[in-house]
Structure 1
Amino acid sequence: MKRFSLFALLVGIAVSTQALELSSNDMHEGRLLSKAQEFNGFGCAGDNISPHLKWLNLPEGTKSISITAYDPDAPTGSGWWHWLVVNLPANTSELPTGVSGKLKQGLEVETDYGTPGFGGACPPPGHGMHRYQFTVWALNTDKLDVNADTPAAIVGYMLNNAVIAKDTLTATYAR
């Protein structure tokens, strides 16, 4: 995706910037998650393995990265947070498959399952297709002032106040 600034167009200079882009080897836009990314508990019997995530084209001014996984279709009235990773250094460009619980940098915050780390998909049986939004956040701050038990809604609020760019990959799942 190419973007041009109004100033650049007015002076006849074509300045190209690429938008932040999130991808994964383990999941694809609009496609079903595998059993590997299903939760193990709450009646689900998946492997609960965090997916590979890779991002490109961080904007200038990025000071840290965060990752979230969120289900807006959970029958809670407020969705369901499945993964919150904050305070990754700006030079981070990828998280390998299964890294949850083994991060050397950054912080995993408590999810709606009540523990920090990746908590896979586990929609109620017969509830229909759920969307799982994996988002990479480029932030204008070196560190969010949170700890592992900061409520997910507070983390979401802080992310939205510090974001300079983000991209979301949405996968699906049903039982």
Structure 2
Amino acid sequence: MPVDADTASLSIRGARRRRAREGLARHDGSRRSHRLSRTEENPVVVPLTRPLAPAPYTLLPAVPPFMLTSDDVRHGERLPDAHAAPPHPNVSPHLRWEGFPPQTRSFFVNVFDPDAPGPSGWWHWSVADLPVTTTSLARGAGSPDAERLPLGAFHLRGDDGVAGYVGAAPPPGDREHRYVFAVHALDIEHATISPETMPGAAACGATFHTIARALLVATYRR
């Protein structure tokens, strides 16, 4: 079938436009691919250099100390891997306390990392409503099933969202982190909180009823 000159010219121009569009698409795809591959091969590393956070309880009203010890953790020493987050066993350490005031009605226990790279540190474990007759927590008492807690005591959800103990897990390569184990002697038998209370809010509320405090600090880095 014969084709006139105008039709042939239109066909040629249309073919050129299609080839140009295809070429642009290939070029754009290649650029996207190149950008992705460069990002994957050379990820941006955000430096975590920052001032050292103060010891958290120096910022609160001063209260008398009492003694906190552990069969698993030594004050001022490295936290054993058994008490670090997965792939480590992630088991809460044994804790024992004594020398608290006779006016104590209950205990509140928590573990805090003031060196986490955020404005409010990181809460690893909180246990509320421990009766005054309780003077220790067995190794593994931080299990989410709460089977090793005394009757009436309960876990709060930590910053990981877990109602139980979550071990040390500082960013790889970051400086040494401090893990502050604290037992707060309270002048009330039951705290006005629930298992859904945020750990920071619970710690703040406990300050108003703390008559003495025992501390044990361990360190950990990866």
Length-normalised TM-score, structure 1: 0.85
Q: CA RMSD in A?
A: 1.2
Matched, 1:134 2:181: yes
Shift of 1:19: 4.8
Supply the distance in 2 between the matched residues of 1:104 and 1:20 (Cα, whole angstroms): 21
CA distance in 1 between partners of 2:208 and 2:65 (Å):
19
Q: Which has the higher strand share?
A: 1
1:163 has 2:210 as partner: yes
Q: Does 1:79 align with 2:126?
A: no
Distance, in Å, in 2 between the alignment partners of 1:19 and 1:74 is: 25
Tell me which of 72, 83, 87 is aligned to 1:37. Answer: 83
Q: Is 1:23 matched with 2:69? A: yes
Question: Aligned with 2:208: secondary structure?
Answer: helix
Contact 2:134-2:150 at 8 Å conserved across structures: no
Within 5 Å, give how 1:60-71 maps onto structure 2. Answer: 60-71=102-113
1:111 lines up with 2:155 in the alignment = no
Other-structure match for 1:144: 191
Q: Among 82, 104, 124, which residue is 2:171 paired with?
A: 124
Q: Distance in 2 between matches of 1:112 and 1:167?
A: 22
Task: Show structure 2 runs of 5+ residues with no match.
Answer: 1-63
Distance in 2 (CA, whole Å) between partners of 1:67 and 1:115 is 16
Match of 2:97 among 36, 52, 55: 55
Unaligned runs of 5+ in 1: 1-17
Number of equivalent positions: 154
Alpha-carbon distance in 2 for matches of 1:130, 1:90: 31
Q: What TM-score, normalized to structure 2? A: 0.68
Structure 1 residues 12-49: Cα deviation after superposition (integer angstroms, max 9, x where no partner): xxxxxx95100000001111111110012xxxx11110
In the alignment, which of 133, 138, 152 is matched to residue 96 of structure 1? Answer: 138
Counterpart amino acid of residue 204 in structure 2: Y
Q: Percent identity?
A: 37
Q: Contact 2:130 / 2:150 at 8 angstroms: preserved in 1?
A: no
Provide the C-alpha distance between the structure 1 equivalents of 2:108 and 2:94, rounded to a whole number of angstroms. Answer: 14
> Matches of 1:157 and 1:30 in 2, distance apart?
25
What's the CA shift for 1:104?
3.3
Higher helix share: 2
Q: Which has the larger radius of gyration?
A: 2
